[in-house]
Structure 1
Amino acid sequence: MKKYIKIALLVVLALIFIGTFVFLYQKSQPKETIYDVLTAEKDTLVQTTVATGKIEPRDEVLIKPQISGIIAEVYKEAGQKIKKGEVIAKVKVIPELGSLNAAESRVRLAEMNGRQAETDLQRMEKLYKGKLVSSEEYEKTLLTTQQAREELQAAKDNLEIVKEGITKNSASFSSTLIRSTIDGLILDVPIKVGNSVIMSNTFNDGTTIATVADMGDLIFRGNVDETEVGRIHEGIPVKITLGALQNMQFDATLEYISPKSTENNGANQFEIKAAIQVPDSVTIRSGYSANAEMELQRADNVVAIAESAIEFENDSAFVYVLTDSVPVQKFERRSVTTGISNGIKIEIKKGLNAGEQVRGLKKGE
């Protein structure tokens, strides 16, 4: 019985030894590497660049007062459409004391001169009817009286302007009524009733009463890096995508490239503008962030493969062309000349034909 047990143990040990030897042998053998195989095909490649920026109206006008004072009424608010000439707000004039005193004094003086001129005219009329004075003297007196009347009216108008900012004779042209200068949409009304406002002058831009813009004529304004600005030009098509309307894309045309760069985070960039075509059914608000995609290069009906299949070495490019797949994959290294790339595929100008298969990444990578 013991003899059989020993024989069984020896058999088990022998099997373990043989199994271990086979396992180690198999592990020591090099594994066959299998690659994905890619086929070169005819394709159209487009190289693009993306500029970031914002959407804004082409014409955005700041409405400012023609006089200084205090806002008495505000008739419009942001978001309302407005026509040229419509009143946005009314300004109440706060007269300056020195100007008010001077205007009142001018009126008093004009009244005195006017009364004296009227008296002189009455006397002259009696003398003229009695043929005691010449027609020339009478006409001079009449002219002096008319001038006195005009001066009195002008003095009264000036006093009204100083006190109220308006005269009764020119109420329709009042500078106290702040009107829109264009048709459009009111984007902002930064003032409230009671706010002080000042007119534009040499030393001050003046208070903005409202911002009005034509939202039917929108542009994209953004920046392009100096490494790419040389490959774009006015008139090329642009595709605009908005952060607020991500599922929509708008056609645009590049119409302006700045001749001067600006520095942004250490990089030289050039401002660009593109006119956007917006359907009437879509509402776009001023200030939307946007991306503008522009075509830099294009290659139609060229041989192309995935860029991952290219091996770059110094200034040269190579591919591994499949020569056999049975029993194992075999590849031949071949020099190629590349063209433009769209980031996924690359153009092969020379060295590879459509339909040929090349080595891609390893299986599982």
Structure 2
Amino acid sequence: MKAVRFTEWKTKPSLREVPRPKPAPGEVLLKVAGAGACHSDVAVYEQFDETTAGPQLAPEYTLGHETAGWIEEVGEGVLGLTKGDAYLVYGPIGCGHCAACSRGQDTYCENAAKTPFLASGLGKDGGMAEYMTVPARNLVPLGDADPVAAAPLADAGLTPYHAIKLALHKLQGGGKTALVIGLGGLGQIAVQILKATTAATVIATDMKPEAMALAASRGAVTVEGGEGQADRIRELTEGRGVDAVFDFVGLTPTIQLAQKVVGKQGRITVVGIAGGPVSWDFYSNPYEAELTNTYWGTIEELHELAALYRAGHIEVDVTRFSLDDALLAYEHLENGTLLGRAVVVPHLDDATTASLQALADRMPAGV
């Protein structure tokens, strides 16, 4: 079968022929419906090497940690799963027995330094292939929802969902405001999650007019970048400042913007991994305002997010690529020429048929 392989540090991935895997006990073989291309993949093959990344990320393996697909085969001991059913893959894989893993929070596994890999697609063969193996425990049901468009939810959806859920106590009650900085794939999903789970006024900002327009169509109040940006945001809060800020960029200027507009007892969550440094001091920080970061999310939260998706509360903006064009998808990702997420579709005909059937199933009778 074909797969997109990360073969060497600071080297672009390549499309190669590899054997079709077999599910081990407790695993399933998944026929991949869609695999999202993520900036984390680009960081792995462009920026990291053996001195900056742990051995868990060392090549060679198949990329793709945002995956959805259909069950093709089950391994020994797997019960209750039916061939052909669609599932989303929870990517992180921890030790399975520490306190964090027992909560479904494999991202914060206490034994991560000793595990052989970090996640499907990050050390372990992932979804940029025709088939992949997945621990049965890591499957989240999609029902009749489109698995191709769902694929980015495994990271681009779960990451903002986790960040927002941790900040919900700041957004309870009337008159609350939330700010989304950066309206790429994660930011657009964040706007929708905030609208679906809170009564807060959602403010959104980006440098791209088309991204701002899309966020506005989803109920956000948009503020363009440039001079006076912070003042305009504070005006929307009647001078009180924002209750919860979510920065999906993470550059120094975007974090500084968050610091300028956050209100007393507010919360800034830096989600973007650009790594921009900022300064902090007691006198310039609003009283009890928090500045924190976060990473991915739990499998329980992915179940909750999938439920929102199945109910139609979240739409994922995707551009589809065939597996043969997967490297082109990464090229677009590197160049920033896509609005939303790039999804590689290894079985285009099957995915199209399933998508059309899912649409037909949702249509009212007689239409």
Does the TM-score normalized on the shorter chain lie above 0.5? no
Higher relative contact order, chain-length normalized (CA < 8 Å, sep 6+): 1
**Greater Rg over alpha carbons, structure:** 1
Q: TM-score category by the smaller chain?
A: under 0.3
TM-score for both structures, normalised by structure 1: 0.20
Higher-helix-fraction structure = 2
TM-score for both structures, normalised by structure 2: 0.20
